[in-house]
Structure 1
Amino acid sequence: MADIVVNQSYYPGIVAFFILYGISSISILTKLNFENTKAVSAILLDLPIFIIVYIIFFLINHLLKQTEVIEAALKDITVKKLEKDSMYNDLKEAYERVENITALKERNRIAREIHDTVGHTLTTVLVELEAARRLIKKDLELAESKLNLAQNQVRKGLNDIRSSVRILENGQDILDFYSDLESIIAETEKHSEAIIKAQIDYDIVLNKGQEKVILSALLEGLANGIRHGKSSAFLFKLYENKEKVLFSLEDNGKGSDIVTYGFGLRAMRERILELNGSLDISSKLGEGFGIYITFPYYKKSDNET
């Protein structure tokens, strides 16, 4: 029985258990000349032995199979790792032969434009859908309203993508500065139910590069604050002081002692450095998140280009 249980599957082991226990019982009855009392006692005493043997070797069988599974998985992982390493080396060599710096910069620019114009819209859609899911059993009418808002935002996002593609083809800029600042704030408050207090100096004259960075920083900060920081309130400031343009966005989210730079923050930092600006991030667990940007101030006469 031990041999069958160890080397066969579950069902042959069970069948072997009952057949061999039956044979053992018949053997006991034969040896005891069918004396009922002694025979029954012997048979019942024999049962725990069979059960213990079966359990022990069933567990051994299980462990052996698990070992085989682990060995197969390790082998598969090793093979895949070797394949990936080989593929990576091949791709790296090919990339180094054909890399075109100009094309790479253009690709990154387009990715940033799409990220800035669409990423914020998709964040608000996600917020609306989550709100609708929570409300669907409590307030069906309000949940339906949230779904309608999300649907409208999806349409807006699709239109933004089409507009971005058309404008990029023509080499034009996508965003109109001050009106878009107000639109971003209004749309975020409408769809996320967050409170955004804004202090904006409308007399500041910025060049196009600075305008785009400030708009994308506002979008990125609001989206990350709502999505990751679970923020419900923001304070946004844009003002001029001592020949510098100062941007700040602070929230009341959960914050973090360790700040991880994702695609949005990395792209933001690169563009700010290209414009001779500086970026500071401040965050602490339980004390929210802050984005601070400083640019040289350009007077209108310096900004015509």
Structure 2
Amino acid sequence: MQIRELLPIIIPGVLLQVLIQAYFIKHCWGNEKLSGKAKLWYIIAILLINLPAAAFYLIRSRDGNTSYEYEFKEIDIDDNLKLGIFVLLVVAYEIFSLRIISDNVYNPHYLLIVSLISYCFILGLIWNLIVRESNAILDHMLPAAQLMLMIPVLYLDNTYNSSLLLLIVSAIILNKLPITFSKIYLIASFGAFLAGGTAKALRFHDSMGFNEIINYIYVNALVFILITAAFYSLKKQLINNIRLDKALRIVKDQTEQIKEMSAASERNRITGEIHDTVGHTLASALISIEAAEELLGPAGGEAAEKLYLAKDQVKRGLNDIRSSIRSIRAGDDEPFDVSLCRMLDEVRQTTNIEVNCIVELKTELLSVQRGILLLAIKECTTNALKHGKCSEIDVLVQESKGEVKLTFSDNGKGSSSITPGSGLTIMRERIQGIGGTLGMSTSPGEGFTVNIAIPV
């Protein structure tokens, strides 16, 4: 057969191939999840390598189906992955189709074989590329028509390659359909194979003995069953993996919700107990101290002064408890700068000292780091007021070279030596516990400075 006799087959085939190529170039160009550079590379690859590059693009650009629902009945593999598998199967279909066509050049039914293979191919393209949405009628008519077209191909083909072509058609059907319908079409594909294969065996019964016919049908049927079952199992495994991933996501989501609810409940319980016990006790003590002040009167002398100091300490204790309750109820998700500003605002309101604060952070701190730094600033503020008798404090928090550096300084009276008390000792242990360092400096009349560095 000469080339001009193949032109009626070659020309439509080339045009169809170009249309498929253009379809996937358009698909790539409209993919909003890809950058402009990635689109360009994929389009060039599709132009040069054609369908294998299109399959690579589809498989690589699948979205992974990150969203999930609590319903598992209609779970299927990702559309891009499904389309990528279809493209690879199309390449295999084209290869075996050309092999069958070339081996049947002198077959008297040559044109009929070519027509049947072409119609089956076109139906597959329409079903997978044009009918993208699920359609109850077409989802049964088109695969059934493909299998019906393959039966005469099996019968008329002079070689055994048509059995492999039917396997590819079966794989295309299993790839497209939901897993719930796959078993039906597995049986239908096997029925098509038996019908066409048995008819072929009977057609060649003169040249084949009975044992050869039985052996041909049995061996090919076994191979057909094994391959289709393997493809079905692979798809089912992919779907089971998706189901498992969705179940794990749901469990994780529910665990986080339970954790948040438990944490909120525990925070409310703790703050309620603090408010009802310690807060009530201190409030009662404050009322008693104020009553004692009234009993002593203006001539209370030293006793009145002691009561005034005690009242001041109780008020501070109440303010600290209120601040702690607000912090606990806010939880651990509040940003560090918000917590720090709120705490320093309370210092301004309760002490009337000037507070200057600068926070320059790029990285969000862990809850344990936030807590330790806030406690350190609170301890430094207490010491500055209690021992330094300061009127101004400066707080600087910066991130540099993988560390968060905190500098706290006051304009208090300072000291010629540093003797860490229990508060500073506990603060140093906490900071060292998270890999940080603590430094202190002071001199008479120059105030007190604390430098803290913790790794981020």
Class of the TM-score when normalised by the shorter of the 2 chains: 0.3 to 0.5
Q: TM-score, structure 2 length as denominator?
A: 0.30
Q: Which of structures 1 and 2 has the bigger CA Rg?
A: 2
